[in-house]
Amino acid sequence: MIELLEVKSKKELKSFVTFPFNLYAGSKYWVPPIITDEMATFTKDKNPALEHADVHLYLAKKNGAIAGRVAAIINWTEVKEQQVKKMRFGWFDVIDDFEVSKMLLDKVTEIGKSHNLKFIEGPVGFSNLDKNGALTEGFDHIGTMATWYNHAYYIDHFKKYGLSIEKEYIESKFDFKKAPVDRFKRVNTLIKERYNLKPANFTNSKDIIPYLDDMFALFNRSYSKLSTFVPISGKQQEYLKKKFISFINPEYIKFVLDSNDNMVAFAIVLPSFSKALQEVKGKLFPFGFLKLLKAKKNSKTALFYLIGVDPHYQNKGVTAIIFEEFHKSLSKNGIDTCIRLPELADNHASHQIWKDFNAQVIKRRATFKKLL
């Protein structure tokens, strides 16, 4: 017997957040979230994304045991201001039982229809800075703190339900020691002189804070043309600053400024916390925080999380300045492997940035869509 339960209490929310810990128990590739952070994501007075979005969380139970979960999300900025009539779903996890998946997706469909929305799409979060996409290739590669992992049978369930691929993403890696350093140095000097640009580097997190508003404004400008784009509000920016600043090595944030100190490009790289997160099993205390701090200082794998370039400076070689500065910082810290986090497969401008890195695609993921 399968039954559906809407999450209402804090106890039920914790069950929703921790269900994947059972589903992926023993997996070498699944990377758990921090439980308290994940619960805050669905708490209205903690996550400002919920000021402009409705989210309903559901657990499916089979014979009394939790068998699946889903978050049904409506981003009202997207629906009302952008006129994209999308019913989102995310945080989708399920045992290998299509009837459980069907019950969860039926509920998402029901909510979408009740609000006269045109289609469902997932797995996605609230905005561009949330995790998105189900893994379609690369199940034998370890996940990251910025992506979802899933079993291969999820894709079969989606297709059986009538969902089809909407957007595709790729993740790749490259050998940092083989990066085309000489090319960066040549182009870096040329571009700085031609456009009167300069890099901004940091060794202390507090020195980054004054630049972050400009960085988010640039993020909104540089990503606005992507089909997945939903603007990041001011309150969301404040939330993200607090949530992520402790995870970022200050040397791994790079800005490019013009002669008037206006930001024209930024990049954020994260140390890999994957192994440490597997060890701490979702708990920061009593020793989890120390393990994450150790990973922050000693990880030999770096994740290229975000790169943004002002539209006026795109395709002008500005990223050469960023890569030259990163080469200095990453070399000093002994980085040997770099991972490019999910990029839209049709974002050709982004792919051009990496064309000389000989990157190997290690994972593919996709969002899935169905008309209502």
Q: What domains sit in the chain, N to C, each tagged with a CATH number? A: 2-170 (3.40.630.30), 174-365 (3.40.630.30)
d(CA 293, CA 119): 42
Tokens of 329: 């910082």
Q: What is the pLDDT of residues 61-85, one digit of tens each?
A: 999 999 999 999 999 989 998 899 9
Give residue 231's Cα distance to chain centre. 15
| Tokens 């954020």 -> residue | 268
Query: How, if at all, do strands 198-200 and 301-309 pair?
Result: unpaired
Under-50 pLDDT residues of the chain:
none
Total-model pTM: 0.91
**188, 324 contact by CB (below 8 A):** yes
Question: What pLDDT is recorded for position 100?
Answer: 98
Give which of 10, 4, 5 is closest to 38, Cα–Cα.
Answer: 10
Q: Which two tokens stand for residue 132?
A: 């998105």
Give the pLDDT confidence of 294-325 residue by residue, as tens digits.
998 899 999 998 888 999 998 888 988 998 99
Residue 64: what pLDDT? 93
pLDDT of residue 122: 97
pLDDT of res. 234: 73
Beta strands in 76-163 (DSSP E): 86-94, 119-122, 134-137
Question: How confident is the model at residue 5, as a pLDDT?
Answer: 97
Backbone angles phi, psi at 345, to 5 degrees: -60, -25
Structure confidence at residue 284 (pLDDT): 86
Report the first-to-last Cα separation within the chain, whole angstroms: 27
- Which residues in 21-46 are b (16+ Cβ under 10 Å) and which e? eebbeebeebbbbbbeebbebbeeee
Chain-centre distance of CA 317, in angstroms? 25
Q: Which of 281, 272, 362, 262 shows the shortest CA–CA distance to 21? A: 281
